[in-house]
Structure formats: structure tokens, C-alpha cells
Amino acid sequence: MMGELKFFAINPGSTSTKIALFEDETCLFSSNVSHEQEVLATFKEIKDQLGYRKETILSEVKKAGYSLDDVDAFVGRGGGLMPLEGGTYKINDILLDHARACLAGAHPATLGSQLAYQFAGEFGGDCYVVNPPDVDEFEEIARISGLKGIYRESRIHALNQKEIGLRYGAASGKPYDQSNLIIAHIGGGISITAHKKGKMVDSNDILNGDGPMAPTRSGSIAVKKIIAMCYSGQFTEREMKDKVSKNGGLIDHLGTADVREILGRIEDGDAYAKIVLDAMLYQITKTMGSMAAVLKGQVDQIVLTGGISHSEYVVNKIKEYAGFIAGVTVMAGEFEMEALAAGAKRVMTGLEEAKEYTGQPIWKSPW
């Protein structure tokens, strides 16, 4: 039997890098390593931050009294890749090339694979990415939009959603790959996804203004109204994109994205705060209803995750509207670091086979 395994998980964000050292499922050490914005601004491209982030991570590990010498696998968030099937991927040359080029968009998450690869080269061990942001398991019919040549894309909290599916399957006794689930990640961004027998077959696009409004995102709005704003002369292209993805939703209505603060306002009798928050939850449950239709009504469970799912008010309101679809299970918070380590462990213990990244998109339009 294989003994205890050690995994080092790396999850780069815009101004910090989350790291965690695991021994099997036990987290020995974790930290959110901050990076000074002024320092990051000196790098022309995201890939240029690699050496700086690596050194700050190593410093943090040393300060905590740990070593990476006996790590069995380094595992990164991943990103910048062509659309791919969910799973754990051994880091290869083409994956690294695409991450460095930010092929699917510039985001610090693209540094995850590069850091894992460098650490593995220096300290030994394997290196992987697990369910990167580029995971795309949509069924073909879900891709068609109302404009020819414009296709719906998979933009989901893939890492956390997949981990939640696996955890719920283990707890319920019905494996994830045999279940139909609606999983709702409710945090700064909101993704409501139909999981059909282990595949994320449809969801709202969390980056491009689709689905329910969120704490900082507008959600779906009648397109002609957005077109009118774009041509009004009042807003630049950047400002319009920020309205959709950064400054919309709760923050536009109420000046804050903090649901705890909004709940406090509601308790103090703020009627506008209540109708806005309730509208967001109403839109979440409407999207759940559409995902139930995707699954043809055969829904084993609705599972709520993400930080906002800690709120009893939020959970009760969702149950009120969507409880008729299926039972509601709450698995609040995020499990991204655990998901990274768990993905590597499944491969190294033979429960899953590592996938090979080919660089070929999982779907191309035949039309």
C-alpha cells in the first residue's frame, strides 16, 4: 500500500497567491500570500510575475517552518488553456506554452501550472492542474445562441463545483458520476450548473453577463437596453464591461457587495436593501428552474456552496422558491485548495487516470 502522500496546492489570484500543504486530506499549513500592487505593476505581463511570486511563496513556506523537499506532487489552479474536459491533467509542454501565452485570457491563475512545474523541477515530485477554469463539458444544444456564429461558453466555478459534486456523492451514497445535481456557487460570482452524471452540461456564463445578478455583476439584462447604454456616449467600453462584471449587481444598487452588511440593513428596516437582495435570490432560483429543465426534472439534489451560502436568510429564501425541485443541501464556503490536493491524490492512488492536455478544443462548431 502507498503511504501518506504530501501535496502542495497553489492558487494564484490578482493580488495574492493561496498556498496549502496537505498530507493526504490533512492540511498541515495554509496561507494567502499577499503581493504588493505596486510591485505587480512593474511587470509588463502576467508571466513576468512568475519569479517574484515563486520567491514570496518559498519565503512564506520557510517562515512557517516547512520544507517542500518531501512533497509528492505540486498542483496548480491552471488557466489560459483551450476548452477541455474536467479532470486532473499532468502538466506537459503544450499546457505550459498555452498558460504562458494566456491563450484563453490573461489571468493570474495561468501562473498556477507554471509554479507547480517549477517547484516540481526544483524539489522533485509530480505536477498537475485540476479542473482549471477552462473546463467545458456543455452538451452541444446548450451552446447555441440566438445569433449565428456566437456560441454559449462554459464559464463556471469549475474547481469548487466539481469538488462539491464529488463530496456530495460520497456523503449521499450515490456517486457523482451517477447523480443529477444542480450546484449553485453563490459568492462574489454566482454560477448555477446542471451536473448530469458527472458532467457540467449547462450553466450561466459568470464572466460575460449571463444568469442572475451577483454581488458585483449585473447578470442578464435585455440586450437592447445595454446597446442603448453603449451608444449613449456616456460610457467607455471599459466602463460598460466593468458595469457587467465588476460594478453591477448589489454594489450598484446598494454600494456594497457584502451580504452580511445588507442583511443588517434589512434588520434595520431598509426596504430597498430587502427587495434588491430578494431579487438576486429570486433570479438565482429562476436559473435553478432552467437547470431543472435541462435535467428533464430528474434532479437528485440542489447543493449550495460559496461564501454567501452560510446565510440562513439566503438558504431559506432559496428553499422557499426552489424546494419543490429537489431537496436542498448546504455545503457553504469554498474547497478549492482541498480540491487541488484531492485531484492529485486520486491520480496518484489509482482512483483516476491523469488526462493529457492536447491543446485541441473539446468542441468546434461544425457550422
List 196's β-bridge partners, or say none.
180, 199
Rounded Cα gap, residues 235 and 159, in angstroms = 34
Rg, C-alpha atoms of the chain: 21
Q: Which of 50, 61, 168 is nearest to 118 (CA)?
A: 50
Q: What is the largest CA-CA distance in the chain?
A: 67
Cα first-last separation, the chain: 51
79 dihedral zone (left: phi>0; alpha: psi -120 to 50; beta): left
Report the predicted TM-score, pTM, of the whole model to 2 decimal places: 0.93
Print pLDDT tens along the chain (367 aa).
357 999 999 999 988 999 999 999 999 999 999 998 899 999 999 999 999 999 999 999 999 999 999 999 999 999 999 999 999 999 999 999 999 999 888 889 999 999 999 999 999 999 999 999 999 999 999 999 999 999 999 999 999 999 999 999 999 999 999 999 999 999 999 999 999 999 999 999 998 899 999 999 999 999 999 999 999 999 999 999 999 999 999 999 999 999 999 999 999 999 999 999 999 999 999 999 999 999 999 999 999 999 999 999 999 999 999 999 999 999 999 999 999 999 999 999 999 999 999 999 999 888 8
Q: Which of 155, 172, 164, 191 is nearest to 290 (CA)?
A: 191
Identify the residue whose cell numbers are 469554498: 334
Q: Give CA angle at 86 (84, 88), nearest 5°.
A: 105
